[in-house]
Amino acid sequence: MGAHHHHHHHIDPEAGDRRVAWAVGVNMLLTVAQIVGGIVSGSLALVADAIHNFSDAISLIVALVARRIARRPSDARMTFGYHRAEIVAAMVNYTTLIVIALYLIYEAVLRLVDPPGVTGWIVVVVAAIALVVDVITALLTYAMSKSSVNIRAAFLHNVADALGSVAVIVAGTLILIYDWRLIDPLVTLGIAVYILWHVAQDIGPVIRMLMMGGPDAPGLGDVRARLMAEDGVEDLHHLHLWQIDEHRTAFEAHVVMAEDAGFAALTARLKRVLLQEFGIAHATLEVETVASGCADPR
């Protein structure tokens, strides 16, 4: 299991999966504890927080399943492999985050109109326990969230949850001591806006990958200009640059070569430029001459 090394990330996939699995387990335990605590203390807030943590666990399960699917080798039906499973999972998790944030805004507005009563210290104590669990989960997934948009979406769920726990602790304490009830909906609004701001930043690249969009860098214009500068290239058309997944970019083009340029040498040279200067390993070049014309005219 641990012997085979994977060249692209420093975290061995199996170890990464174990971390996510641990995070799921911790969240599930907390969910059960909170539901029991909520029923015993008659606190609806605790049960609500339990459902929140359960959504955390679900987002981590979605991320974990996607990680496993993404490692399947390519086959006759999925010729590019299953890497995009992680991007689909990220999309699912970001979408649920938007729904959660909008619901929080709705709840906060209702509470601003009619501030809630005081809940006991037990809610604050359980929120503190929840915060500890959220921090543990965050630590388990933080390193992985940097290199995977899928884990980043689950990580953001977790951060949103941790902030929710902080809000319950701060608001609960202030309400109990100063009876300052508006703090609860105000903090909730702040968290909802924070979640939406984060999602707005991260969801763009995910949508672009699903839409077969190109990466931020290199730009298609840069790649075109660089290839046109090579000797023997007279024209380029039918250019496509798209991201297969977060770590792989593909390129295809029709290259019109000069009559005297060597076909094999030119193709090898262009592919070397694409790999060494732009990091594009997956390139498909169709070479034509002015005389041959384009195999696929517009």
Q: What pLDDT shows up at residue 89?
A: 93
Q: Whose CA is closest to 104, among 154, 160, 143?
A: 160
Q: What pLDDT shows up at residue 157?
A: 85
Q: How many H helices and E strands in the chain?
A: 8, 3
C-alpha 41/C-alpha 43 separation (Å) is 5
Q: Give the contacts of 270 (CB within 8 A, at least 6 positions apart).
A: 227, 230, 233, 255, 283, 285
Category of 212 on φ-ψ map: left (φ > 0), alpha (ψ -120 to 50) or beta? left
Question: Is residue 6 in a domain?
Answer: no
Q: Are both 181 and 242 inside the same structural domain?
A: no
Q: Are both 252 and 141 inside the same structural domain?
A: no
Q: Are both 63 and 20 inside the same structural domain?
A: yes
Question: Is residue 8 in a domain?
Answer: no
Two structure tokens written together for 17: 């999966």
Domain interval for residue 104: 13-210
Q: Are both 69 and 36 inside the same structural domain?
A: yes
Question: Is residue 96 in a domain?
Answer: yes
User: By three-state DSSP, how is residue 15 classified?
Assistant: helix
Q: What pLDDT shows up at residue 6?
A: 39
User: By three-state DSSP, how is residue 177 classified?
Assistant: helix
Residues 88-104 pLDDT 10s: 999 999 999 899 889 88
Question: Is residue 294 in a domain?
Answer: no
Q: Are both 156 and 129 inside the same structural domain?
A: yes
Please report, for the domain that includes residue 194, its CATH number: 1.20.1510.10
Residues 213-231 pLDDT 10s: 988 888 899 999 999 998 8
Which residue stretches of the chain have pLDDT < 50? 1-10
Q: What pLDDT shows up at residue 41?
A: 67
The answer to whether the CB of 105 falls within 8 A of the CB of 192 is: yes
**190, 23, 83, 244 alpha-carbon torsion, rounded to 10°:** 30
Q: Whose CA is closest to 157, among 55, 255, 268, 74?
A: 55
Alpha carbon separation from 207 to 144, 148, 267 (Å, rounded): 21, 15, 33
Q: What pLDDT shows up at residue 35?
A: 82
Question: Is residue 238 in a domain?
Answer: yes
Q: What pLDDT shows up at residue 254?
A: 93
Two structure tokens written together for 174: 């202030």
- Which residue matches tokens 């199996």? 14
Q: Give the contacts of 30 (CB within 8 A, at least 6 positions apart).
A: 50, 53, 129, 130, 133
User: By three-state DSSP, how is residue 65 classified?
Assistant: helix
Please report, for the domain that includes residue 252, its CATH number: 3.30.70.1350
pTM here? 0.79
Question: Is residue 7 in a domain?
Answer: no
User: By three-state DSSP, how is residue 45 classified?
Assistant: helix
Report the number of distinct structural domains present in the chain: 2
Q: Are both 242 and 177 inside the same structural domain?
A: no
- Which residue matches tokens 């999602």? 199
Question: Is residue 298 in a domain?
Answer: no
Q: Are both 136 and 204 inside the same structural domain?
A: yes
